[in-house]
Structures are given as C-alpha cells and as structure tokens.
Amino acid sequence: MYFDLDDDQRSLASAARDFLGSSASPAAARAALEDPSAPVLPGRVDLVKSGFAAITVPESAGGGGGTVLDLAVVAEQAGRVLAGPSLVTFARAAVLLDGDEARLAGLVDGSLAVAVHDGGPVLDAVGADRFLALRGEDVVLASGTVTRRPGIDPTRGLADVALDEGEVVAAGDSARWERALLVGRAILAAEDLGTAARALEIGVAYTKERHAFGRPIGSYQAVKHALVDAYVEVEQLRSLVWWAAWAADHAPDELPLAANAAKGAAASALERAGETLIQVHGGIGFTWEHDAHLYWRRAKVDRFLLGDDVSAYDEVARLAVAGATR
C-alpha cells in the first residue's frame, strides 16, 4: 500500500511547526531542567488555545473533529522541539471521554486539566488537577495528590499521584481503556519520530561543518555508517507511525499490531538517534552545555512511557503468531 500525507495534513504540519517552534525549543527544555519551577512550553494553556490539543475531539464538543492521523502529524512537530505537555495525554483523554460532551468541552476550553493514570509515574501530572484511571472494568475520573519527582526529562511532567475516590465515566468498558492506550502509543511514537528526526538533522549538519585532518568528518566511513543506521531506523519508524495512526482511524483490527510495532520501534530509533548525535559531536557532545543530551533524555524517558519496548515487541510477536495460526 502506498501512503503519504495529503495537502491538508501538510498544511497542518506547517501550522503546527510555526506555532510550536515559536515557544517550545531545546532552550526551553534546558530551562526546565535547570529550574524545576520553569514552565514547560508551550504549556497546557497555550496548547489548548491553539486548538491542536483537541484535534480528535468531536466538533459537537467544540473540538476539531479530526483524525488520529491529523493529531500524529502535529505530534511529530511537537517532538521536534521537545514540546510539553504531551499530545498523548489529550489523545487518550479524547478516547476515554468519548460521548461525554460536557467533559470533552472542558478538555477543549482548558477547564478540565486532565492526565491519565496508568499506575506508575503519571505523564503530564504536573499541571493537571483531574486524572483518568482504570479501576477494575470501569474508567474513572478523580482528583489526586501530586508529588513531583525529579525527572530525566522535565518536559514530560512526570509525578506520582495518589488518587481520590472519583466517579465512574465509563462503566464496564475496559475495551475503551485499551483503545485509548493504543492510540496513545501511536501518538507517542509520532512525537518520538519528530525528536529522532531532529536529532539526526543536527548530527548530519554538524558533520558537514566539523573538519578533521582537512576533511569534513562526515566524509569518514565510520561517521557515515552511524548516521545512515540512524536514518534507516527513523524512516522505518515513520512508516510504522503513519500505519498506526491510519489504523486507529480506519482499521481498528490492525491497531494493536500497528501501535505496538510503532511503540517498540520508536524506543530504539530515538535512542539510536540521540546516542549518534552525541557520538558525532565528539567531546562536546558529552557536555552539559551542548543540547545533545536533551534528545537523549527524551529517549530514555519515552522508552518506558505507556509500557516499555520489550512488552510492545512481545505483544507484536503474540499477535503475529496468533494471526499466522488462524
């Protein structure tokens, strides 16, 4: 199957790049790392105001009425500039609150500052006041006590959350929780795609500028091979991301395989891109002053968000074997 973004999605990517690039940046990520009280940019308020956060919320609730693929296009641009909060949070909340027009409207206008609690450290808990969680077979919405933890990547807003009792928003609907998780993995992979691609671009540009023994270091085979290996993983990830997002919109039976494959590939592709960026910069790449470690930090945190890559690949194998034995 041939797949590419259409003109509307390319325009959406351009608009998202302009908005996110005007506020979020490695410099903003560094400021958040050096000062825990520094805001993570663009921040929840501005992200909500932009309309990008609510792309997948139905128009009847004031959202964009767009597709998961539309949101993935924006998520890629968010990943390029290490933006926060994560669009994963909004994607999952839109699924979990499906049909609840009042709460979806709160998600759209920002009056409902929500994060999703999976049982461990909560993504985007910092700045949230309500939390969606699974209790038994029920999806609940609860307030909670947030204990911020020092993070490798502060743009992810991770914190421990002790939940209060809360109220049921979807009774006996663990399938909804599972779909939200798969959609979240697809959007997380899209963010990681953007981060990995940007890290690779920075590395390639540097190897053209830096000279050793009278030649650009990019002309040496060892450097070329490292960058090409990273490039191959990034482009393979791109295909998996678009497949997972498309499956979320059009082929729900394919979503479990596609989303888990994208999640697993994203972890390894981003880590390779981040490590390659450090390596090609030589000694300066290992310093605090250079931005290379910011991409590496994102890789180390995202590997374990929404389950790690090992569990994702285990699920891919299980699904593949099950499909082959039908």
DSSP letter at 187 equals: H
> Predicted confidence band at 325 (pLDDT cuts at 50, 70, 90)?
low
Q: Are residues 81 and 24 in contact, defined by beta-carbon separation less than 8 angstroms?
A: yes
Per-residue pLDDT tens over the stretch 46-100: 999 999 999 999 999 999 999 999 999 999 999 999 999 999 999 999 999 999 9
Residue 102 · residue 62 · CB < 8 Å:
no
Contact 92, 184 (CB under 8 A): yes
pLDDT band at 2 (very low <50, low <70, confident <90, very high): low
Q: What residues are paired with 21 via a beta bridge?
A: none
Contact 256, 315 (CB under 8 A): yes
CA triple 79-84-85, angle to 5 deg: 120
- The mean per-residue pLDDT over the stretch 243-266 comes to 97
- How far is the C-alpha of 208 from the C-alpha of 199, rounded, in Å? 15
pLDDT at 1 over 60: no
Residues of the chain above pLDDT 70, percent:
98
- Record the pTM: 0.97
pLDDT of residue 36: 83
Q: Taking residues 157-172, what's their average pLDDT?
A: 96
Determine how β-strand 130-135 pairs with β-strand 114-117.
parallel
Alpha-carbon distance of 202 to 26, in angstroms, equals 12
